[in-house]
Amino acid sequence: MRNASSTNKISPGTNNRSAKSLIELMVVISVAFTMLAVAANSMHLLLDVERTSTASVVGTTNFSRLANLFRDDVHAGRSVSLIPEQNEQVSTLEIQMSDVQKTVYSIQDDRVVREVRHSQEVKHSDQFSLPAGTNIFKVDGPNVSFVHRRNYSDSKRAQSSTATSREIRVDAVVGRDHRFAKLTN
């Protein structure tokens, strides 16, 4: 008869365990958390870049639309006048189109409001949001300018060697489109 204890013996050198050790489990968990942290940081950076680029595209589109309308209005106008400011926060430019129609541009904080008026009644109104900065109208004879100056005092540009402010101008001449003056000569 065989000995029952000899048949259940595990020979030395073989490892038949099926469970994982606590150290292996901790290594897997730490690798998973590291991968999750890298993925979360990357997602945060991608969302920040997307937000910044969207704001830039919206700002550029708004300014482009404003510039086109401003030039068209000034070129079509008969006369232009600055309305005296009652409040230092608001600047207003009035473009007389005809005896009964005029277009009024007013600057209110970070917005430019364009109103087309017919006999003092507002027929159409547009609002253009611009980045924080200084917005002014300039009138020099028949030349009219809209100037947007943005300061970068609290941004990364202020720390670099580049300029800390940027000026964007929209110039137009009352009654004619000087961009095509060379073509008609």
Q: Can you say whether the dihedral through the CA atoms of 50, 66, 124, 112 is positive or negative?
A: positive
Q: Provide the terminal-to-terminal Cα distance of the chain, rounded to the nearest Å.
A: 124
pLDDT reported for residue 185: 46
Q: Are strands 79-83 and 90-96 parallel, antiparallel or unpaired?
A: antiparallel
CA distances 29 to 18, 20, 57, 61, Å, are 19, 13, 42, 48
pLDDT tens, 70-86? 888 888 888 888 887 66
Asked whether the predicted pLDDT for residue 144 surpasses 70, the reply is yes
Asked whether the predicted pLDDT for residue 98 surpasses 50, the reply is yes
Question: What is the mean predicted confidence (pLDDT) over 123-130?
Answer: 89
Q: What pTM does this model have?
A: 0.66
pLDDT reported for residue 160: 53
Give the C-alpha separation, 145 to 85, whole Å: 17
Across all residues in the chain, what is the average pLDDT?
Answer: 79
Q: Residues 6 or more apart from 78 whose CB is under 8 A from it?
A: 96, 97, 98, 174, 175
Q: Are strands 111-118 and 79-83 parallel, antiparallel or unpaired?
A: unpaired
pLDDT reported for residue 9: 59
pLDDT, greater one: 157 or 26: 26
Domain-wise residue ranges, the chain: 30-184
Q: Residues 6 or more apart from 68 whose CB is under 8 A from it?
A: none
Asked whether the predicted pLDDT for residue 153 surpasses 50, the reply is yes
pLDDT reported for residue 162: 55
pLDDT, greater one: 135 or 159: 135
Q: 124-146 burial, b for 16+ CB within 10 Å, e for fewer?
A: eeeebebeebebebeeeeeebeb
Alpha helices in the chain (DSSP H): 4-7, 22-76, 181-184
Whose tokens are 């890298």? That residue is 38
**Alpha carbon 7 to its chain's center:** 79
Give the C-alpha separation, 8 to 18, whole Å: 17
